[in-house]
Amino acid sequence: MVKSSMNNGKVMVFSVAVAAAASMVLQTTEAAEYIVGDDLGWTVPPNGAATYVEWASKYNFIVNDILDFKFAQGEQDVTLVTKENFEICNSTDPLFQLQKPARFQFLSADTFYFICSFAGHCAQGQKVAVTFAPSASPSPSPCPSSADAPPAASLPLKFVLSRKVGFRKV
């Protein structure tokens, strides 16, 4: 009798934990996803620098949202720079750079300054500053499980960098 009721207790605790984990997963999948430039994608905008300024002003980006940089590999890149370097289109020693199209999830309430490092592209308007507002609901605290923290040495450099700058490739 006693043994059976203890087992029930364990099952109950377990299902509560599963429900909590499931709701965390649901919360993260609620993040909105945006294609940078919408139909144009990430390229030298035919209509100049206003293109990406207008694109960014159309949306209210929130922490955990995802940006999808779509472009032909080898023709553009995704280069994160400081505000100062964004203004002067300086892609020397960027904070982060990726040569492949990718989706990024943004984890900190901050403004991120992206340019393309191909010669002349930024100057022709291929640059976008995106501000992510804090998330309304408190984000779940990171789980301190060992699975969540692989040894730093095994991580590709790009990933380490992106963690440092508040976003990650997804």
Binding site for Cu ion (CB under 5 A): 76, 116, 118, 121, 126
What are the φ and ψ backbone dihedral angles of 66, each rounded to 5 degrees? -120, 135
* Residue number, 56 or 62, with CB nearest to Cu ion: 56
Cβ-based burial of 78 (10 A; exposed 0-12, middle 13-18, buried ≥19): buried
Shortest approach of Cu ion to residue 73 CB, angstroms?
12
* Residue number, 92 or 141, with CB nearest to ligand NAG: 92
- Does residue number 4 form part of the binding site for ligand NAG (CB under 6 A)? no
Shortest approach of Cu ion to residue 132 CB, angstroms?
23
Shortest approach of ligand NAG to residue 88 CB, angstroms?
6
* Residue type (1 letter), 167: F
Question: How many amino acids of this chain bind ligand NAG (CB under 6 A)?
Answer: 5
Q: Which of residues 84-103 bind ligand NAG (CB under 6 A)?
A: 85, 88, 90, 92-93
Torsion (CA) 146, 151, 152, 153 in degrees, nearest 10:
-170
Residue 126 touches which member of ligand NAG, Cu ion, none, C-beta under 5-8 Å by kind:
Cu ion
Residue 102 DSSP one-character state: E
Is the CA virtual torsion 37, 39, 43, 47 positive or negative?
negative
Q: How far apart (Å, rounded) are the C-alpha atoms in residues 53 and 19? A: 41
Q: How far apart (Å, rounded) are the C-alpha atoms in residues 65 and 27? A: 11
Shortest approach of ligand NAG to residue 79 CB, angstroms?
11
Q: How far apart (Å, rounded) are the C-alpha atoms in residues 71 and 78? A: 10
* Residue number, 63 or 89, with CB nearest to Cu ion: 89
* Residue number, 65 or 77, with CB nearest to ligand NAG: 77
Residue 111 CB coordination number (10 Å): 12
Shortest approach of ligand NAG to residue 91 CB, angstroms?
8
Contacts with ligand NAG, residue ranges (CB under 6 A): 85, 88, 90, 92-93
